[in-house]
Structure 1
Amino acid sequence: MTGWTRHDGTAVALPRDNIDTDQLIPARFMSASRAEGYGQFLLRDLREGDPGFPLDRFPQASILLAGRNFGCGSSREAAVYALVDAGIRCVIAPSFGDIFAANAVNNGLLPARVAETPAMMQALAGGTAPASIDLKASQIEINGTTLTFDLAPAWRTKLINGWDDIDLTRAHLDEIRSYRNQRHERQRWSWPAPQDPQS
């Protein structure tokens, strides 16, 4: 996964609360190979029932402004795959499902938590706007308006470096080795006795 610090793209609004992971990718599509791309399944049921669906009208959009509790429901990581494979780099919402947000970061997708944004939703109603994201500054600019988003420092580090949880742990290998060696010196009794190769 490639890390990033800034993204310039197009924002589109999806003014719905409680979009769950089963809506993001219905379960019947999860047997498909990821190699085929999950973007074609993103929000399939909502899109089929709405000929004016925003992501169909503006397929170039890479930033999604959504309602509260985005990504709630089951823990399926495929929901994030569908967004990423469809070209979405950031979802902006007042709140997210916890597991969805963690999965998003591990796949390079920014879950940008912001305050309620009815004015921004109204500004994007029926269209799109140019937008830019600055990960280091925790800021998003949409059509000249700047929003500040909340992001845990560890998540920012993972997104900037393109890391998952294992990569983040490996970044502390020196400290882990040092702790192991110091504990071995202080508490030798707690370590297994060396095996006699002759036994």
Structure 2
Amino acid sequence: MLPILARVVPGVTLLTLSATPSLAAPAAPDTGSTAWILTSSALVLFMTLPGLALFYGGLVHARNVLSVLMQCFAICCIVSVLWAVCGYSLVFDGDGAWLGGLGKAFLAHLDPVRPATVLPETVFALYQMTFAVITPALIIGAFPERVAFPFVALFSALWMLVVYVPVAHWIWGGGWLAALGTMDFAGGIVVHTTAGVSALLLALMVGRRRGFPRRFSRRTAPA
């Protein structure tokens, strides 16, 4: 229940504030809202580590549990770095219809209080990063024990930049879908739809595990 609240309540709050042009940015951030967003960021991150890591680890052979745990941990590290380098800026900087700019690359030029909110922009960037982390991690459940670790790392990095960043800008960053009135409070489109469709296509390309679901093949390659 807490993870759900951590995604829905802050999302509704942030989108409501962003949709109110007349709301001037306060001189100082609101401490209560900032504390709640920080708590929500931790709860969303917990859904990836250890949440998804342990859940997907239970779907594989015992010898491959550590591999799945490492995949989730690596995705967390890779996406966090990419988000700081250019991801946040491409999503939330500028008002382009298809993609943002690089004015806030490497988290430079962040505002003390993000416009139209009561939050420090650093906290806002952290909160959004947790969603960027969990989205590619959701996909690894589509190919357990059937791909190598380098593929997971490379695919997750490219997918985050090519798929997640543009879609997040379209809706949460004020892109063309936001201009059409699209609202996504808890990531139903940005997170779950993009990850679900990508996981389905990737599972079809990689193929099923040998003998699954009747039995596990001993010849299944480690993930």
Question: Is the TM-score greater than 0.5?
Answer: no
TM-score by length of 2: 0.24
Higher strand share: 1
